[in-house]
Amino acid sequence: MPFESLSERIQMSLRRITGRGKLNENDIDEMMKEVRLSLLEADVNYKVVKKFTADVKEKALGEKIMKSLTPGDMVVKVVHDELKALMGEEAVGVTYKVSGPSVFMLVGLQGAGKTTHCGKLANYLRKKDHKKPLLIAADIYRPAAINQLHTVGKQLGIEVFDMGTNHKVVDIVKNGINYAKEKGYDLVIIDTAGRLHIDEALMNELKELQDKAVEIYEDKNEKFGETLREPDEVLLTIDAMMGQDAINVITTFNEALKISGCILTKLDGDTRGGAALSIRYLTQIPIKFMGVGEKLDQLEVFHPDRMAGRILGMGDVVSLIEKATESVEEEEAMKMAEKMQKGRYDYDDFMKQIKWIKRMGSLKGLLSLIPGLGKQLKDLEIDDKQFSYIEAIIKSMTEEERKNPELLANSYSRRERLAKGAGRPYPEVNALTKRFENMKKQITSLAGMDEDKLNEQIARGQMPGGYSPKPKKGKGKGRGNFRI
């Protein structure tokens, strides 16, 4: 989960006041002291921390909040709103040309993930905005950069244009854009060279590259407005682990190139979060996308309000729904729902659901989007490889066994054969069949239950069939946390 340590510290600070019926200035001061330390430890710029804490304190001490029935909860809302404002209020999209291929340049230091994110961005915009993208390999200095882009393009089924390493970068880009126009591509994404540090040679080359991308559109038969005097998007890839140094990188690049937005990479680790909370306020440049994993489909639009909710442990149901919508065809979901309503559920259905979940991302990442589950997941070891083991077991079943789960439930010899066929221990196969039988009973119970009875059980905290999910009790620290 992005900013896990920061999120934990801030949530701990806010828990001291949440639910309390009365607050005074001393309570707010104590809370803000903890929040201030949390932000500084996360490498948030001190100017940002100073403004943020001052704004939160001023609003938290307002008469409307202090005299409300739930002042603690109101303060949490203030913190959420200020975090959202700090990161930019609303998501900022990309800009396309009205006609002809739109040109996006990805720039940044070496090692920030430009080449991979060229592919991720092309793949995302192809799905979301129905674009037909072309990747241009303009990094002729880093060993194997062109090969890497071709590998990414091949995995995604996206064409890569290159002219090797013996041509000038500006000529490669010029020919690449002309090729895109001839072949009907409506989006060009240029993978530029990076350096281990900012230097004059890098900036001069990027400026020349930017100018050349503009000149190509100065056709005798076409007239373009001043808004097209530069590439439609110049996106700077920034490593989320850079902390405050990210501000210096952004400022230097922006002075030379007029950056239109940032792509924050490597947010799948426990990054300190300083960059995300400082960039917009100090540079006025929006974070447009964030990389949340190594896979080529793990790129998301940066939504300040949703990120604020994640940091405060409020979850992100909207993103969860979007992931489900992207990963599951509506027709498939309807067929599955109709089948389950009739009380029918087999291992083929189970396998299909596992594939849906895998498309959506890591299980721990998905669970962290559910409100209230974030802090429960901290000490859990959720291994996504378990899905592969389950798939191996199901694939070792005969078609008859998948369609009739009771055959396995009633036969030791069948389960033993499965264990050998899948290369998994017998207890693992046995546990899977038992869990599956419990799931099937719950689904059958749900199918035969009217709406009033269902709502009554949910209100009592029970699942269909009388099952009541309760956390296992532990000892000492973390007692009562859920375990998987």
The DSSP result for 185-218, as a single string, is -SEEEEE----SS--HHHHHHHHHHHHHHHHTT-
Residue 425 domain flag: yes
Of 87, 112, 128, the last residue of a domain is: 87
Are 129 and 240 within one domain?
yes
Tell me the percentage of the chain whose pLDDT exceeds 90. 24
* Tens of pLDDT, residues 325-381: 666 666 777 777 777 777 778 888 888 888 877 777 666 666 666 555 555 445 545
Query: Which pLDDT belongs to residue 71?
Result: 78
Are 81 and 209 within one domain?
no
Are 149 and 276 within one domain?
yes
Query: Which pLDDT belongs to residue 477?
Result: 40
What's the mean pLDDT in 317-328? 63
- Per-residue pLDDT at 137 exceeds 70: yes
Are 135 and 198 within one domain?
yes
Are 363 and 226 within one domain?
no
Give the domain range for residue 37.
4-87
Are 298 and 337 within one domain?
no
Are 275 and 138 within one domain?
yes
Which is more confidently placed, 107 or 20? 107
Which is more confidently placed, 162 or 269? 162
- Per-residue pLDDT at 126 exceeds 50: yes
Q: Grade residue 18 by pLDDT with cuts at 50, 70 and 90.
A: confident
Residue 308 domain flag: yes
CB neighbours (10 Å) of residue 321?
Answer: 11
* Tens of pLDDT, residues 67-96: 666 777 788 888 888 988 988 888 999 999
- Per-residue pLDDT at 220 exceeds 60: no
Hey, CA dihedral for 45, 283, 108, 272, is it positive or negative? positive
Are 116 and 255 within one domain?
yes
Query: Which two three-digit tokens encode residue 467?
Result: 């099952």
φ/ψ of residue 238, rounded to 5: -125, 130
Residue 289 domain flag: yes
Residue 481 domain flag: no
List residues bridging with 373 in a β-sheet. Answer: none
**Contacts of residue 84, Cβ cutoff 8 Å, sequence gap at least 6:** 304, 305, 308
| pTM score, whole prediction | 0.69
Query: Which two three-digit tokens encode residue 2?
Result: 């992005």
Query: Which pLDDT belongs to residue 476?
Result: 43
- Per-residue pLDDT at 117 exceeds 90: yes
- Per-residue pLDDT at 106 exceeds 90: yes
Least confident of 4-8, 193-197, 410-414: 4-8
The DSSP result for 273-314, as a single string, is -HHHHHHHHHH-PPEEEEE-SSSTT-EEE--HHHHHHHHTT-
- Per-residue pLDDT at 396 exceeds 70: yes
